[in-house]
Every structure is written in structure tokens, then in C-alpha cells.
Structure 1
Amino acid sequence: MWYNPVMNGNPSVKAADEELVALAKNGDTKAFEELVDRYKQKAYHIAFDFARDREEAKDLSQDAFLKAYMNIKKFDGRSGFYTWFYRILVNVCLDYRRRKQRAPVESYEEKLESGARLNQDPNAVPLPEQLVTAGQVSRKIGAALEALPPKQRTAFILRNHEGLSIREIAQMMQTAEGTVKVHLHRAVAALRQSLAEFA
């Protein structure tokens, strides 16, 4: 059965999750597969925000689901399954970012320039002038996000890309709500500074 990915704030969804989790704890792999179907799209989108690469995002989301499955018996129900799983996913993504930062790889901006992340055809017709400007802004934002400290980047992605509340972000990052607000303030300030030339 296919489920649209939704937040655990909906009581009926939370109840359904709890039932599936209980079955999964007893070895019902079909029940866990339904949980995967329910949340795989949102997991992919969050992973893509961290990786900026389709294949890497698929791998990261799959790794997170695998870790969730292996640790399902440790899920104690104090939070919804969604919150518990996304904490795992964010940690997997942060681990990926740390490994990537240690490796001598091409920067995100360089990859955008080469078209590697946009699957551009090298023989494609050049973009209109107004779209070139939009592309420059996009590259600036991407580079600025890439340069943010991991916690600021995580808070910004979860707030602005995924629409989570300050409280939900604090739960996922296992920190105080005030700390999340500081991370968001600093992230927004850095992004504004990077876009100053377009103001």
C-alpha cells in the first residue's frame, strides 16, 4: 500500500505508525516496508538537501532506513516514528557531510558550473539572460549553504526546506529551542551576506 509522507502530528497517522512499528518489532518486514513507503519521499528530499546529488541522496535515505530497521526494537515510543527516524536520517547525512569535508572533492559551486548536478547537455542552447542571473543567485545560495557549519545548515534545511517547527528541529537535533534559533539566525545572516551583490 502507498502512503503519502506526512507529519506525525496527525493522530491517525501516528496511531497507524505505532501499529506498524509494533508489527515490525515482531519481525514483520512487510510492516516496515509500509513505513518506508510512507516516508521515503520526504527522506529522499532531506538527503538531497544535504548531498546535492540524486544517487547519494538515494543511498543516504536507504542507509537511514536500514539503520532504523536494525534498531527498531530500541524505538521506545516517546516520540513519533517520524521524529525518531528523521533523527537517524539527519545523523546519517551529517556523517556524510563530515566524510565529504575531509575528502579533496570538487566544491558544490564547481559542480554547478560544470552542470554535473543539473544533468546539463553540453550542447544545450544557452539560457536566456534573465535565467543566467537566476542561475548565479542559485549558485551563490548553494555555495553559501555548502559553507555553513553543519548544525546551522541542518537547522536551515529542516526549517526552510522541510517546514519543521523550531520545537521539532530541537527534538531532532537534540538541543534547546533557543540554540536552534541561534543556528537559524546565523545561517540566514550568512546567506543574506552572500546575496548582497544582487540586492
Structure 2
Amino acid sequence: MMDPENSSDEQLVALCQQGRSECFEPLVQRYMQKAFHIAFGFTREVESAKDLSQDAFLRAFARINQFDGRSSFYTWFYRLLVNLCLDHARRNGRVKWQSLDDESDAAAHEHRALADDGFRPEQAAIAGEASRKANETLRAMPNKQRTAFVLRNHQGLSIADVAKVMRTTEGTVRVYLHRAVAALRQSLVEFV
């Protein structure tokens, strides 16, 4: 008998599709933390991120028989989650893109900078202004450009996976990424 905890995603999905619903739980355990972080990246609200990640798992479970294996389970699930997050953003206004670093990361960077013997306040001020400008530019980007940029550069998805999540072609994703990078480069030209 197969051990669900040590089974691959594909094996677990196949078992779920055969009616063994208990085999979905290991998938939830594997991806719950990632799902929360992705949803939090869109909402910047803990409760909304919890709700969206749970809703994505419920949808994945309800639609498990629609999974056809053309992509990995994670890519398929990720698409469900991102679509829920984008729907949430449309219903509740724009995505709340804040700093790319969360506050604890920012505090850790500041602490390391202060502990560094070579710390120079003017460099810290310039870096802070550049970060603020980059975040401002990201917030102002069209949703599709921003989504492609964040999925590729902050979530680490391949261009092919970004295309699957966004339900578009790889060429279109490359265009979105090119435009996003061009906008960031233009906004940061004074810092280079």
C-alpha cells in the first residue's frame, strides 16, 4: 500500500481522482505555507491571505477530476490561487503592493547595515529612496505587467509557468516583463 505522505503530487492526484479524498491532505500540507505567502503578497492582509489560500485548496479539491496532468499539480493549483487573488483584488480595489521586503526583512537589513563597520548613512538613504521609487513604480504598473514581474522575479516561476498561470503565451509574458523592467529601469535611472 502506498504511503500518501511520501507519494509524489502526481500519485496523490491520481488517488484523489479515484475517490481517495484523504490523499488530498498531503497536498494541502505541502503547499499551504507557499499558498499563504503568495496570497499575502497580493493582499498584504493576513486574514484575506488565509481565506484565499483555503479557498484555492477547496477549489482544487472540488475540481481535482479536471486536472489533466498537462502541467504539474503545483502549477495548476498556483493558477487557481493567483486567479482567486486577482479576482479578490478586482473586487476590493487594486492589489496592495507594498514594499517588496516585509517589515521584518527591512528591520533586519537596517540592523545589518548599522552593525557593518563600513555603514555610510548617505548610502542607506539612497538605497531607501531607490527602494521606495521601485515600489512606487510597481504599484503604478498595469496589473498584467506587475503580475508577470512578481510571479517571475519574486515567486521564481519560469516564463512558461507564468504564461500558464496568466493564461497567455510565453511571448506575451516576455513583453509584460520587458515593459515592467523598462519602467523600473526608467524610474531608477537617477540611482545608477
TM-score, with length taken from structure 1 = 0.72
In 2, Cα distance between equivalents of 1:196 and 1:59: 39
Change (3 A) 1:59 1:192: farther
Q: Does 1:168 align with 2:153?
A: no
Distance 1:193 1:52, change over 3 A: farther
Greater shift, 168-177 or 54-63, is seen at 54-63
Counterpart contact for 1:141–1:195, Cα < 8 Å = yes
Offset, 1:149: 1.3
Shift of 1:155: 0.9
Any unmatched runs of 5+ in structure 2? 107-112, 115-120
- In the TM superposition, what whole-angstrom CA distance separates every residue of 1:56-108 from its partner, at most 9, and x where no partner exists? 32322222112111211221222221111111111111112212327xx9x75
State the match for 1:74 in structure 2.
66
Structure 1 residue runs of 5 or longer lacking an equivalent are 4-12, 121-126
| Structure-2 change in CA distance of 1:62 and 1:180 (3 Å) | same
2:35 equivalent in structure 1: 43
Aligned partners of 1:2 and 1:38 also within 8 Å: no
1:83 corresponds to 2:75: yes
- 1:18 corresponds to: 10
Per the alignment, in what secondary structure is the counterpart of residue 8 of structure 2? helix
Contact 1:49 1:157 in 2 (8 A): no
Indicate the residue corresponding to 1:192 in structure 2.
Answer: 185
Equivalences for residues 31-180 of structure 1 within 5 A? 31-101=23-93, 118=103, 129=121, 130-180=123-173
Match of 1:9 in 2: none
- 2-side partners of 1:19 and 1:89: how far apart? 21
In the alignment, what sits opposite 1:8? none
Alpha-carbon distance between aligned partners in 2 of 1:60 and 1:141, rounded to the nearest angstrom: 27
**Structure 1 ranges of 4+ moved more than 6 A:** none
Q: What RMSD over aligned residues (CA atoms) do the two structures have, in Å?
A: 3.2
Q: 1:33 to 1:189 in 2, by over 3 A?
A: same
